């Protein structure tokens, strides 16, 4: 069923009107009167609606039923990824959204090559949020993950540590695997933190440990900065019964 996202205020009404990008998308799909569509508020609530009128620039809908989204993961997973070069972060945002991440948080670290200033970061965040929204629509999500950035590595660690389980991945860790960390105890929220292209410095790993994050390995092979978070997220979704 075709899916559209609107504001929570719009979804609360019994009659909805799709305009702007939603109306343009509906036109491309050639929606006709009587067809059913799914309308979501991006926060886990959705409505099954019937198209009642197709006019230039807008599509009118009548709400048939309301429900909570059944496509959201049981565990709230947050991806913390250091700023990276090129479009690597965009790739992670798209794929992490498809896999079920609740949010993606970008942060600076000592070896980051990419360090966007305030103006360019604002533009990037706007683009990143649109990528998340598009991926949520395509993958049948009921929630659009929030994409945000914090201004320091310390802030990222402190925010990540608030989850039931917070993990930092480090290529020089040999003892603790992700499987061991996931099987240690139950959790309903998890933070997964990965470094930039050059990896995290040893003192940064110690800082994470002192903040309460568990240090884990993702195996004997070194993964690229855009591969590691998606690998970890996939493992979490499998371990918690999503696959």
Q: Is the pLDDT of residue 60 over 90?
A: yes
- The pair of three-digit structure tokens given for residue 52, joined into one six-digit string: 């009642």
Residue 49 has, within 13 A of its CA and on its CB side, a CA count of 30
Average pLDDT, whole number, for the chain? 93
Q: Is the pLDDT of residue 153 over 90?
A: yes
C-alpha pair distances (Å), 148 with each of 83, 99, 122: 12, 18, 10
Rounded Cα distance between 112 and 150, Å, is 14
Please state, for a pLDDT cut of 90, what percent of the chain lies above it: 72
Rounded Cα distance between 46 and 182, Å, is 31
Mean pLDDT, residues 8-20: 90
pLDDT for position 156: 98
Q: Dump pLDDT digits (tens) for 72-110.
A: 999 999 999 999 999 999 999 999 999 999 999 999 999
Q: Which residues are within 8 A (CB) of 189 and not within 5 positions of it... i.e. 6 or more apart?
A: 75, 76, 77, 78, 163, 164, 165
Domains and CATH numbers, the chain: 3-68 (2.40.240.20), 76-239 (3.40.1280.10)
Is the overall model pTM greater than 0.85, yes or no? yes
Could you tell me if 171 and 59 are in contact, meaning their C-beta atoms sit under 8 angstroms apart?
no
Could you tell me if 69 and 142 are in contact, meaning their C-beta atoms sit under 8 angstroms apart?
yes
- Find the helix or strand (DSSP H, E) in which 79 lies: strand 76-82
- The pair of three-digit structure tokens given for residue 18, joined into one six-digit string: 């799709």
pLDDT for position 110: 93
Q: Which of 21-25, 26-30, 209-213 has the highest average model confidence (pLDDT)?
A: 209-213
């Amino acid at each position: 069923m075709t899916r559209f996202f609107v504001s929570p205020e719009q979804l609360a009404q019994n009659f909805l009107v799709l305009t702007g990008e939603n109306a343009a998308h509906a036109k491309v799909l050639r929606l006709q009167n009587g067809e059913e569509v799914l309308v979501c508020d991006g926060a886990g609530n959705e409505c099954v609606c019937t198209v009642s009128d197709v006019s230039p620039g807008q599509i009118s809908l009548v709400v048939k039923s309301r429900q909570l989204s059944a496509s959201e993961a049981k565990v709230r997973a947050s991806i913390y990824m250091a700023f990276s070069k090129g479009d690597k972060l965009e790739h992670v945002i798209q794929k992490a959204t498809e896999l079920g991440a609740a949010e993606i948080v970008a942060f600076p670290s000592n070896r980051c090559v990419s360090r966007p200033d305030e103006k360019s970061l604002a533009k990037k965040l706007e683009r990143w949020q649109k990528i998340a929204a598009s991926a949520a629509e395509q993958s049948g999500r009921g929630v659009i993950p929030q994409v945000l950035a914090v201004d320091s590595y310390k802030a990222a660690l402190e925010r990540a540590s608030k989850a039931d389980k917070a993990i930092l991945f480090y290529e020089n860790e040999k003892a603790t695997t992700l499987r061991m960390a996931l099987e240690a105890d139950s959790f309903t929220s998890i933070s997964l933190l990965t470094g930039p292209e050059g990896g995290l410095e040893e003192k940064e790993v110690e800082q994470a440990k002192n903040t309460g994050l568990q240090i884990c390995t993702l195996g004997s092979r070194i993964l690229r900065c855009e591969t590691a978070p998606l690998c970890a997220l996939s493992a979490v979704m499998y371990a918690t019964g999503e696959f």
